[in-house]
């Protein structure tokens, strides 16, 4: 379903928080307003696909609300490469590299994305050097975060990996994630992740519920990581 986007004035401040660290590449309200005028709102029901792996990209997306997973099948196993929350930018790197999408993007729950077509984005970045620089900062920040996640996966026990992921995702209302999705993110078995969560919960570091994990003791989780 496609509808007109909200008035640009309602998006400007929010867009500024989505595109990386603003202090490294400040933007004018005019740049953000121009970007906002070209965004089209699209709604995806939970379980539906936004784009398929290997699809040639022609859009870039900013997740307005909901949760989206980027996943692919490896050796007959579905692996979640990344779990995206509101404010996440995705689809731009394969567009810049002129390659097919490396993953399938699927809405985990009812989600809303703001999309901009590739030709319009390239035109904007060519006309507005500060917006291009800010977008570069955004890409660099996301790549750095992915490198940190890979480092977590390559070192430490499963408890350490779970603790690290929870700390990165921690919010005041808890983390919305199923054990199956968390297992796919960590490349582990669901039963193993369940046991890890139980161990952390027994120590009073987290609390678990249906598709939800709450962080109770961040310092305790940091201690788990430092002991790896």
pLDDT value at residue 228: 60
pLDDT at 23 over 70: yes
Model confidence pLDDT, tens digit, residues 196-206: 999 999 999 99
Query: What domains can be seen in the chain, in order of their start residue?
Result: 2-152 (2.60.120.10), 155-226 (1.10.10.10)
Model confidence pLDDT, tens digit, residues 134-187: 999 999 999 998 888 787 777 678 999 999 999 888 765 678 899 999 998 888
Q: What is the pTM of this model?
A: 0.82
Model confidence pLDDT, tens digit, residues 3-18: 444 445 777 889 988 9
pLDDT value at residue 3: 45
Q: Are the CB atoms for 45 and 110 separated by under 8 Å?
A: yes
pLDDT value at residue 172: 57
For residues 210-221, average pLDDT:
91
> What's the mean pLDDT when you consider all of the chain?
89
The residue with tokens 């603003």 is 22
In percent, the amount of the chain with pLDDT more than 70 equals: 94
Report the C-alpha gap between 33 and 188 in whole angstroms: 43
174 vs 67: which has the higher pLDDT: 67
Model confidence pLDDT, tens digit, residues 28-50: 888 999 999 999 999 999 999 99
């Amino acid at each position: 379903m496609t509808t007109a986007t909200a008035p640009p004035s309602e998006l400007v401040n929010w867009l500024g928080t989505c595109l990386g660290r603003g202090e490294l590449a400040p933007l004018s309200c005019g740049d953000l307003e121009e970007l906002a005028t070209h965004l089209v709102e699209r709604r995806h029901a939970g379980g539906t696909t936004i784009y398929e792996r290997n699809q040639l990209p022609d859009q870039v997306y900013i997740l307005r609300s909901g949760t989206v997973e980027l996943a692919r099948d490896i050796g007959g196993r579905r692996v979640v490469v990344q779990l995206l929350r509101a404010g996440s930018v995705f689809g731009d790197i394969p567009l810049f590299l002129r390659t097919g999408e490396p993953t399938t993007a699927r809405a985990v729950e009812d989600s809303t994305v703001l999309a901009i077509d590739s030709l319009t984005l390239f035109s904007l970045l060519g006309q507005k050097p500060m917006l291009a620089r800010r977008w570069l900062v955004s890409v660099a920040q996301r790549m750095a975060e992915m490198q940190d996640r890979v480092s977590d996966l390559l070192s430490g026990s499963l408890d350490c990996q779970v603790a690290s992921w929870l700390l990165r995702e921690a919010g005041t209302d808890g983390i919305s994630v199923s054990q199956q999705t968390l297992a796919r993110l960590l490349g582990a078995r669901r039963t193993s992740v369940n046991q890890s969560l139980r161990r952390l919960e027994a120590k009073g570091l987290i609390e678990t519920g249906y598709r939800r994990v709450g962080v109770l003791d961040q310092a305790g989780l940091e201690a788990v990581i430092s002991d790896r």
